[in-house]
Amino acid sequence: MSEPTSSRPSGTEPGGPELTAALQDFIAAPAVLVALDFDGCLAPFVLDPADARPLPASAAALHDLGAQPGVHLALVSGRPLADLFRLADPPPGTVLVGSHGAERGEVDAAGELHLTPVELTEDQQNLLAHVTSAVEQIAHAHPGVWIEHKPAAAVVHTRALPDEQAEAVLREAMTGPGTLAGVSAMHGDQVVELAVVDATKGESLQALRTTRPGVPALYAGDDVTDETALAVLGPGDVGVKVGAARTVAEHRVAGVEEVAQMLQRLAMWRATRSSR
C-alpha cells in the first residue's frame, strides 16, 4: 500500500507520479529484489568503456539500499563479470551477472568477489577463436572499431564511428560471423555481441528469482538486451526503461541522473520503513 501523498519527497518526480506510486508500493514489501543494468543506467556512456563509473549518487544509494534488511541487489550486465565488479564497486551481498548471464558471482561481506567461471566445450572454444579472428579483421579494416573480449563472446563496439559507418560495421558483423552455427548474435546500442553461449538478461533475472520466490523485483535498463528482462516482469514488479528507445516497460526515466534520483528515493523510503 502506498504511503500518503504528503510523505512523498517534494520536487521533480523521475518518471512521473505513476512511477513514484509504483516504487513506494514496491519498496514497502517485506523483501525486494533491485536488479539494474550498468552502462547507461548506473554509469553514463563514455568513449572508452574502461573509464565508465556509476554516478556517485547512484553508488551511494546502492550502498544505502544494500544495508537495509530485506533488500536484495543485483547488477545485470553484458560486461565480463570481473570488469563489472571492478568498475561498479558494488556493495557486499550484491549478486553480479556478467556477459548477459553467462557469468555469475556474488560479493561477500568483506567485499570480495566469488564467481562461477564460464566453462566452454572444446567446440565452443574453437568457435570463439574463429569468431574473435573474424571480428578482429573487421576492426582492422575500420579504424575506430574496438573489440571487447569476453570469456564466451567477442563484442564489436562502434561508438567512436560516425553513425552511417557504424551501422555498416555492425551489419557486417551480424551477417558474417554472426550467422555461424552455434553463435548467438545480439545487436545493441552501437554494439554487436557474438557469443558462443546462449544467455539473456531475462533468463538471468528469472534464475535470480527462483531463489527468492514471491519477492517483487525492480529492473531498470537502457539497452535492447534489457528488454528480455523487462519482458519477464509481472504483477507487483516494476520495470523502468532508461532513455527514449522502444520498450515493453511500464515506466520510463530520461537518463542516468534520473536513475540516481530513483535509487535515492528508494533508499530513503526503505530506511524510513525500517526505522518504524
* pLDDT, tens digit (0-9, with 9 covering 90-100), for 216-244: 999 999 999 999 999 999 999 999 999 99
Residue 47: what pLDDT? 79
Is residue 9 over pLDDT 50? Answer: no
Report helix, strand and coil shares of the chain as percent, to nearest 5. Answer: 40, 20, 40
Global confidence as pTM: 0.84
d(CA 271, CA 266): 8
Please report the pLDDT score of residue 117 as a whole number: 79
Helix (H, G, I), strand (E, B) or coil at 84: helix
Answer yes or no: are the C-beta atoms of 41 and 54 closer than 8 Å. Answer: no
- The 10s digit of each residue's pLDDT in 181-208 is 999 998 888 899 999 998 899 999 999 9
- Residue 154 reports pLDDT greater than 80: yes
- Domains of the chain, earliest start first: 5-115+201-274 (3.40.50.1000), 122-195 (3.30.70.1020)
How much of the chain, in percent, has pLDDT values that exceed 90?
A: 81
Output the pLDDT for position 12. 67
Cα-based distances in Å from 181 to 12, 84, 89, 250: 50, 29, 37, 36
